[in-house]
């Protein structure tokens, strides 16, 4: 074969290989591209991605035990807007009572919820009260006995409340400024403690939040089991709130503490110095708990509350109306802190992942 022929063969082979590589790359890229109906992972659970013309969210199917991307609305809600002034208000309650599981002390929670209280007062035209409970069990019991109408739950406490007879229905869940609807559980210890992760907790004093807390009880329990231990391998103390769990670390009551969403050096934890503490473990994504509504309330009243939550409990509306002193979207606080942007509609099956975790950990606190 002469040199000219050899060059032709080499050219053909090179072109063929390039073509095969491009096709292979396109197939692999296509397989890796998230899309409705395709598989996702446990660490992606709750994550929302914009995929035109809609968006998709990683969900968990309790029956198939699989994670997959599901198409969701691009906007905060699929619920059609309503004119509250035209609703039949004859059987509406005389007042509306709202509350949430105790992430912090009651006074701090009331301050952070003030904007939402004012929103409901203005839109519903009836008195709105904040229900203060010192424990997760207290909020669950209040919901079961219908002493509270609207609750911001952790995912696990919502499930426990329903299992124990609470007549509630999920309305929506918090959506953050980055588009996510999930958070994580973290393990904290003192700098220099020698604890580098969950695996080092055996024989240690450990603070948790509550047996019915998702990020402060259930998820840490799963993490401990995955590390080959049980809660019996350490001395545990349930402190009632996330801040209290951290305070247990600062007072040396515990050598390590599980908590979520805490800011060392601020608010209740203002006396703790950030340099003296470190995070040594973080869980995968945990779905934000739902805002739930007493399902026995009049249909027109529930429609009004859902409309307010899904259409008006957002930074833009707060700025427009001046709720909670909001003048700019970036700094506006609608509930908790400026990281919460709006509320996204949610249905009960979204929490099947937490139900599966209950089964996996065999937590007695998950049962009725």
CB 335 within 8 A of CB 174: yes
pLDDT of residue 24: 39
Q: What is the mean pLDDT of residues 73-83?
A: 59
Q: Which residues pair with 39 in a beta bridge?
A: 68
Positive/negative CA dihedral, 326, 329, 331, 335:
positive
CB 298 within 8 A of CB 308: no
- Dump pLDDT digits (tens) for 168-183: 999 999 999 998 898 9
Distance CA 207, CA 235 (A): 9
Structural domains of the chain sorted by starting position, each given as residue range(s) with its CATH number in brackets? 34-74 (no CATH), 84-182+289-366 (3.40.190.10), 185-284 (3.40.190.10)
Distance CA 58, CA 92 (A): 37
pLDDT above 50: residue 99: yes
Burial class of residue 19 (count of CB atoms within 10 Å of its CB; 0-12, 13-18, 19+): exposed
CB atoms within 10 A of CB 129: 14
| Residues 6 or more apart whose Cβ sits within 8 Å of residue 6 | none
57 confidence band (pLDDT: 50, 70, 90): confident
Distance CA 355, CA 267 (A): 33
- Dump pLDDT digits (tens) for 275-291: 999 999 999 889 999 99
pLDDT of residue 56: 80
pLDDT above 60: residue 27: no
Q: What is the mean pLDDT of residues 262-285?
A: 93
- Average per-residue pLDDT for the chain: 86
Q: Which two tokens stand for residue 4?
A: 């000219």
pLDDT of residue 32: 62
83 confidence band (pLDDT: 50, 70, 90): confident
pLDDT above 90: residue 225: yes
CA distances from 147 to 138, 141, 204 (A): 11, 9, 39
Distance CA 238, CA 217 (A): 8
CA distances from 225 to 156, 203, 209, 231 (A): 18, 15, 17, 8
Distance CA 214, CA 259 (A): 10
| Least confident range of 126-135, 169-178, 204-213 | 126-135
Residue that wins the pLDDT comparison between 37 and 244: 244
Its pTM stands at 0.77
DSSP element (H, E) containing 355: helix 352-361
Distance CA 265, CA 222 (A): 29
2 confidence band (pLDDT: 50, 70, 90): low
């Amino acid at each position: 074969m002469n040199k000219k022929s050899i060059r032709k063969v080499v050219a053909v082979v090179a072109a063929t290989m390039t073509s095969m590589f491009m096709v292979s790359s396109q197939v692999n890229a296509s397989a890796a591209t998230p899309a409705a109906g395709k598989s996702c992972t446990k660490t992606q659970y709750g994550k929302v991605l914009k995929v035109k013309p809609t968006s998709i969210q990683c969900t968990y199917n309790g029956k198939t035990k699989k994670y997959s991307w599901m198409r969701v609305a691009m906007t905060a809600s699929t619920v059609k807007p309503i004119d509250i002034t035209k609703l039949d208000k004859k059987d509406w309650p005389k007042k509306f009572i709202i509350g949430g599981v105790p992430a912090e002390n009651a006074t701090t929670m009331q301050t952070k919820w003030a904007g939402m209280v004012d929103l409901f007062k203005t839109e519903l035209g009836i008195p709105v009260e904040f229900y203060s409970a010192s424990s997760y069990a207290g909020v669950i019991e209040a919901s079961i006995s219908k002493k509270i109408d609207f609750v911001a739950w952790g995912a696990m406490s919502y499930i426990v409340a329903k299992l124990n007879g609470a007549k509630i229905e999920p309305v929506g869940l918090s959506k953050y400024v980055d588009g996510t609807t999930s958070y994580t559980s973290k393990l904290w210890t003192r700098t220099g403690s020698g604890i580098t992760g969950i695996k080092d907790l055996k024989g240690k004093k450990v603070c948790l939040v509550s047996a019915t807390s998702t990020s402060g009880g259930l998820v840490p329990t799963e993490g401990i089991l995955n590390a080959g231990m049980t809660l019996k391998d350490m001395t545990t103390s349930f402190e009632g709130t996330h801040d209290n769990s951290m305070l247990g670390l600062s007072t040396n009551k515990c050598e390590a503490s599980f908590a979520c969403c805490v800011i060392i050096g601020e608010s209740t934890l203002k006396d703790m110095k950030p340099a003296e503490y470190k995070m040594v473990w973080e869980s995968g994504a945990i779905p934000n708990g739902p805002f739930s509504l007493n399902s026995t309330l009049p249909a027109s009243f529930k429609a009004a509350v859902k409309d307010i939550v899904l259409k008006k409990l957002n930074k833009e509306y707060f700025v427009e109306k001046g709720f909670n002193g909001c003048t700019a979207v970036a700094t506006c606080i609608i509930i908790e802190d400026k990281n919460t942007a709006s509320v996204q509609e949610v249905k009960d099956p979204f929490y099947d992942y937490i139900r599966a975790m209950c089964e996996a950990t065999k937590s007695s606190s998950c049962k009725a």
